[in-house]
Amino acid sequence: MHAYDVILVYGVIIFIIVSLYFDLMGAGFTFLLGVTVLGVFGILTPKEMLIGASNEQIAVILLLLLLGNIYRKTALLDSLFDRIFVKISSHKAFTSRVMLLIAPMSAFLNNTPLVALMMPYAYDWSKKHNQPISKILLPLSYAAILGGCATLIGTSTNLIVNGMVIESGRESLGLFDYTLIGGTMVVIGYLYMRFIGHRLLPSNYITSQNITKNTRKYVVEAQISINSPLVGKTIEEAKLRNLDGLFLFQIIRNDQEITAVPNDTILLQNDILLFAGETSSIADLFEQKKGLTMPSVGMFSRKKELDIVEIVVADGSLLVNKTLKSYNFRSKFDATVIAVHRNGEQIQGKLGAAKLKPGDTLLLLTGVRFGELASNSKDFYLISKVKEIRKLTPLQSWTLVIGTVSAIFLSSINVLSLFLALIILISILLILNVTNPKELAKSIDYDLAFIIAMALALGVAMQKTGVAEILGNVMIEIFRPWGNVGLLSGLYIITAILAAFVTNKAAVALIFPIAISIAGDLGYNAIPFILTVSFAAAANFMTPIGYQTNTMVYGPGGYKFRDFIRVGTPLTIIYGIVTIFFLLKIYF
């Protein structure tokens, strides 16, 4: 290779770091532009530019994300959360259970979908109990990161590193090669957040700035069902005054309207209860039931695939001045209305008898054909999809859970590769209609796969031109005087800083080739150097931009950049010390 090739690679590396740090053009396009320049100047061949396209680990990452998305839509984890967090009213106890739950789960399910699933639940709990959301969300993110670092499949960062290991001609890392260090840090990280970290967190309570959330007040109609456990109880005994996000403002009994409902009112069979509440609360009421039925829903609720969506009635719509009862949503649009919102006016009486006006917002329960049937309608506009509901049969539920455990177990004992095990599992889920091809296609994170593929190509260029070796030699010269401790510490510090301020994927792409070169030049086993890079990049606590789950909780928790520095830096230092201690004991 010529000297100008080396200079060009240095230039591309600097460009990638600057572009990612200042977010000039997005990670995917940044890597594409950098790798394209290397291809145009002949440093990379077309085959080398596409080296990541056939990388098994990229496919494994995508399959794990697909599996996590299936769990998110099926409400299995929601049911688990309800059982675990019952009767907890302090943020310390809630946070403690969150960490003890999420960390082990993150070791085997990709941590990003887990955090995405847990955040709305944490938000609702925090609001209901008037507890600071900032004391919950950052520990949630940290628990996911800690657990994800404990196995090969817990975080995409570890899988990216393993992909680079395989591309370099070495054997794949094992599922539990990370567990001694990662598992130890799950315990230490939990104790740190329980006794030190929570004291350093701000006390930010939920405001309108936190988590984009619909605050429209809907009116929803529910009925005391036959043989309901609520019959004969007072409003207070039935705890209908304390439903999260819902306010009982009227009861209709045999055409008699009871307003300003007293707490000692005894509930009777067929009573119709009118609640005012927020979108998500009504969605939860539909799922939980609590001895109530929704008259407008009826048999519609037995559908296995349902969505809750919001629409607004258009001006000039055929819906205007018609009642919900007279306008048959079910036959026309495979949908039924479960709640109505009207600006500045609280609808009285049965919803089915209320005449609609332009601008009314309706909450619909929709079947699978709604999108097709409503696509050309000019009577209303779709605002948003509030919730997806996928009801599983016992066979489907057990197949999903046991299949996931089996796939992980069989790959851990080398009976099947994780890739093949996940392919078989998802194929079975498709056959059993747990998910469908369209949903899977929509769930694929093509941008992530593209970034990883381009990062692998950049690594090839660094190895091919000798840039990795040059940078490795510089690091050896700087840190070798402090021995193996200095080498691993220097590698960890540089990777952690890059990961914190540029992104962990970029850090891995840039530092992995250097780590391999250092090990080769010194004649050492490459594994401790590889694991140092992997842990330093994945265990990313110091900034909100270095790891995706940190970014997810940044705004909703009302955090400032310095909150991550204050809480995450000590944890990062502890993680580095533990990592280097164990690697020195095991490999040197």
Q: Give the tens place of pLDDT for each residue, 545-556.
A: 778 788 778 877
Number of neighbours of residue 226 by Cβ within 10 angstroms: 9
Tell me the per-residue pLDDT of 19-51, one tens digit each, with 9 for 90 and over: 877 778 877 888 899 999 999 999 999 988 988
The answer on 494 and 463 residing in a single domain is yes
Q: Cβ contacts of residue 123 below 8 Å, gap of 6+?
A: 133, 206, 210, 211, 213, 556
The arithmetic mean of pLDDT across residues 296-314, rounded, is: 79
pLDDT level of residue 533 (50, 70, 90 thresholds)? very high
Sign of CA dihedral 10, 16, 19, 24: positive
Nearest C-alpha neighbor of 310 from the set 209, 436, 439, 217: 217
The arithmetic mean of pLDDT across residues 257-276, rounded, is: 86
CA–CA gap between residue 70 and residue 426 (Å, rounded)? 10
212 falls within a domain: no
Tell me the per-residue pLDDT of 372-421, one tens digit each, with 9 for 90 and over: 888 888 888 888 777 777 778 889 889 998 998 898 888 878 888 889 99
Token pair 């396009």 in the structure block, residue? 29
Contact 109, 68 (CB under 8 A): yes
The answer on 481 and 384 residing in a single domain is no
Q: 283: domain CATH number?
A: 3.30.70.1450
Q: Which two tokens stand for residue 143?
A: 């628990």
344 falls within a domain: yes
CA–CA gap between residue 360 and residue 357 (Å, rounded)? 6
Among 390, 425, 453, the domain-final residue is 390
Phi and psi angles of residue 335, each rounded to the nearest 5 degrees, phi first: -155, 160
Of 238 and 579, the one with more pLDDT: 579
Q: Cβ contacts of residue 529 below 8 Å, gap of 6+?
A: 488, 491, 515, 516, 518, 519
Q: Is residue 269 classed as helix, strand or coil in its secondary structure?
A: coil
The answer on 21 and 85 residing in a single domain is yes
The answer on 16 and 52 residing in a single domain is yes
440 falls within a domain: no
pLDDT above 70 (res 286):
no
Of 216 and 585, the one with more pLDDT: 585
Tell me the per-residue pLDDT of 323-373, one tens digit each, with 9 for 90 and over: 887 877 888 888 888 888 887 676 777 777 888 888 888 888 898 888 888
Supply the pLDDT for residue 456.
Answer: 80
The answer on 398 and 385 residing in a single domain is no
Q: Is residue 195 classed as helix, strand or coil in its secondary structure?
A: helix
What total number of domains does the chain contain? 3
The answer on 400 and 379 residing in a single domain is no
Of 453 and 487, the one with more pLDDT: 487
Supply the pLDDT for residue 211.
Answer: 40
The number of residues in the chain equals 588
Count Cα neighbours of 587 within 13 Å in the Cβ-side half-sphere.
21
Q: Which two tokens stand for residue 556?
A: 């909703």
The answer on 478 and 544 residing in a single domain is yes
213 falls within a domain: no
501 falls within a domain: yes
Domain of residue 402: give its range: 394-433
Residue 394: burial class (beta carbons within 10 Å; 0-12, 13-18, 19+): exposed
438 falls within a domain: no
The arithmetic mean of pLDDT across residues 269-276, rounded, is: 87
The answer on 398 and 383 residing in a single domain is no
Q: Cβ contacts of residue 285 below 8 Å, gap of 6+?
A: 220, 222, 243, 246, 275, 277, 292
Report the number of secondary-structure helices (H) and strands (E) in the chain: 24, 9
The answer on 380 and 258 residing in a single domain is yes
DSSP classification of residue 193: I
The answer on 459 and 421 residing in a single domain is no
Contact 152, 175 (CB under 8 A): yes
Torsion-angle region of 323 (φ positive above 0: left; ψ -120 to 50: alpha; else: beta): beta
The answer on 242 and 167 residing in a single domain is no
Contact 265, 220 (CB under 8 A): no
154 falls within a domain: yes
The answer on 475 and 402 residing in a single domain is no
71 falls within a domain: yes
Range with the poorest average pLDDT among 56-65, 318-327, 488-497 = 56-65
pLDDT level of residue 210 (50, 70, 90 thresholds)? very low
Q: Cβ contacts of residue 65 below 8 Å, gap of 6+?
A: 110, 112, 113, 156, 443, 444, 445, 448
Contact 241, 235 (CB under 8 A): yes
